[in-house]
Amino acid sequence: MSELQEILDRAADGGRISPEEALELYTKAPLHALGRAADAARRRRFGDTAHIATYLIDRNINYTNVCVTACKFCAFYRPPKHEEGWVRDLDDILRRCGEAVELGATQIMLQGGHHPEFGVEYYEQVFSAIKREYPQLTLHSLGASEVEHMAKVSGVSIEEAIRRIKAAGLDSFAGAGAEILVERPRKQIAPLKESGERWLEIMETAHRLGVESTATFMMGTGETNAERIEHMRMIRDVQDRTGGFRAFIPWTYQPENNHLKGRTQASVLEYLRLVAVARLFFDNIAHLQGSWLTVGKEVGQLTLHFGADDLGSVMLEENVVSAAGARHRSNRLELIHLIRKAGRVPAQRDTLYNHLVVHDDPANDPVDDRVVSHFSSTAIERGIAHPELRIVVAEAHSGGA
């Protein structure tokens, strides 16, 4: 038996592989053997429910595009005082939550820039207002970068910031801001962001305080293969201590409208190989999400054969990745069909990955055609937004929310 096959077999059987072995697989294993092993690891992990692949209905709500961190890959932010900067007021945020509830969303992902005036108090106000009006919504929002920023603005510790936003209604952290955690490429694409070590330290603190999260990876901004594996190694080490990462979500950098531009981008094959290696490497993280938004629906569907168990959200609204050129949109029925055509039974899940509706009979598929993902007017000028979800033209930033 070849050395590569031995590593593949061990990982498929749930054994641990080292970062060096993961790199060997990533760079040398035949694609089909890699996919087969990852799929075996997925089936092994999910046992009786391995025939199911999940999706979620959620809405990303961006409260401001004003940001002092100026990441080079980001097409969404505007610096303070820029004429295209805006802040959504609380009524607008609540209206969007109301629409999301009406369309069957279970989760809200609040995401925004690092506004120079937004400290812990701002997030306490927003989270408590949403929970008061819509207690049924799960607030899976923000991430370590926002916590670092709000704690600085308010002059409090990371621990206090997390405790307070949790008390105000935050349920879990999204894994955003991880980008790539390895220092060399991170400094090149996000020189003003906290270090990768710091990002992990904040997540570890959150996990200890009972706030779980996901972990993401934006691949394709100029990192080496070894750095891709190192990013996963850093996350796996923390997970060994906390168990607080529910999912790993790799996605590909989108090169439009930002300062990095298209000088680099991960190919579909690189992405699929990474998904498969992630399933084999993360023996301690249950869920692995395929990103149809950035790689397209067909490749998203393929990830289900490379170890992914989840296709993420319909995304009733998404502006950040779309602003950098992600042109894919979908709807609930289409995601259901994609999953079914991949040979799996689709199920709508909640943030905790509980199955809410298992679509095991096509005759009972949902018919509400309003449950579509859409581009906002901030992402594409005169973009095709669903009429009921059209975003109002952003107001000029007035210095607060």
Q: Which is nearer to ligand SF4, 54 or 69 (CB)?
A: 69
Number of residues that this document lists for the chain: 401
Cα angle value 243/247/253 (rounded, 5°): 130
- Rule CB under 6 A: choose which of 17, 41, 57, 69 binds ligand SF4: 69
The residue from 35, 85, 113, 250 that contacts ligand SF4 (CB under 6 A) is 113
**Residue 143 in contact with residue 177, Cβ under 8 Å?**
yes
| Nearer to ligand SF4 (CB atom), residue 67 or residue 266 | 67
Q: For 332, which DSSP code?
A: H
For ligand SF4, which is the closer residue by CB, 111 or 313? 111
**CA-to-CA distance for 41 and 281, rounded, in angstroms?**
10
Q: Pick from 38, 74, 274, 299: which binds ligand SF4 (CB under 6 A)?
A: 74
Nearer Cβ to ligand SF4, position 69 or 289?
69
Q: Is 63 one of the binding residues for ligand SF4 (CB under 6 A)?
A: no
State yes or no: residue 70 binds ligand SF4 (CB under 6 A): yes
Contact between 145 and ligand SF4 by CB under 6 A: the answer reads yes
By CB under 6 A, residue 152 contacts ligand SF4: no
* Smallest separation, CB 380 to ligand SF4 (Å): 18
67 touching ligand SF4, by CB under 6 A: yes
Residue 97 labeled ligand binder:
no
- The full 3-state SS of 7-63, as one line of letters, equals HHHHHHCCCCCCHHHHHHHHHHCCHHHHHHHHHHHHHHHHHHHCCEEEEECEEEEEC
Residue with Cβ nearer ligand SF4 (21 or 318): 318
Q: How many CB atoms lie within 10 A of CB 286?
A: 15
The answer to the question of residue 358 lying near ligand SF4 (CB under 6 A) is no
In angstroms, the CA 60 to CA 176 distance is: 12
Closer residue to ligand SF4 in complex, CB, 77/86: 77
77 touching ligand SF4, by CB under 6 A = yes
Q: Which residues contact 149 (CB under 8 A, 6 or more apart)?
A: 68, 69, 114, 118
Q: Cα 135 vs. chain centroid, distance in angstroms?
A: 23
Q: Give whichever of 138 and 216 is closer to ligand SF4, judged by the CB atom.
A: 216
Residue 179 assigned ligand-binding role = yes
Determine if 76 is a binding residue for ligand SF4 (CB under 6 A). yes
Question: What is the Cα–Cα distance from 26 to 367, expressed in whole angstroms?
Answer: 41
HEC sequence for 278-312:
HHHHCCCCCEEECCHHHHCHHHHHHHCCCCCCEEE
**103/86 Cα distance (integer angstroms):** 26
Q: Residue 153: in which H helix or E strand, if any?
A: helix 144-154
Structure tokens at 22: 């993961």
Torsion region of 353: left, alpha or beta (phi above 0 gives left; psi -120 to 50 gives alpha): left
Shortest gap between Cβ of 74 and ligand SF4 (angstroms)?
3
Least Cβ distance, residue 375 to ligand SF4 (angstroms): 18
Report if residue 119 touches ligand SF4, rule: CB under 6 A. Answer: no
172 is in an annotated binding site: no
| 80, two tokens | 């303070």
Stretch that binds ligand SF4, among 67-75, 159-167, 220-228, 234-242 (CB under 6 A): 67-75
Instruction: Compute the least distance from the CB of residue 64 to ligand SF4, in Å.
Output: 9
In angstroms, what is the minimal distance from the CB of 143 to ligand SF4? Answer: 9
Number of residues in contact with ligand SF4 under rule CB under 6 A: 10
* Residues placed in the known binding site for (3R)-3-methyl-D-ornithine: 291, 313
Which residues contact ligand SF4 (rule: CB under 6 A)? 67, 69-71, 74, 76-77, 113-114, 145
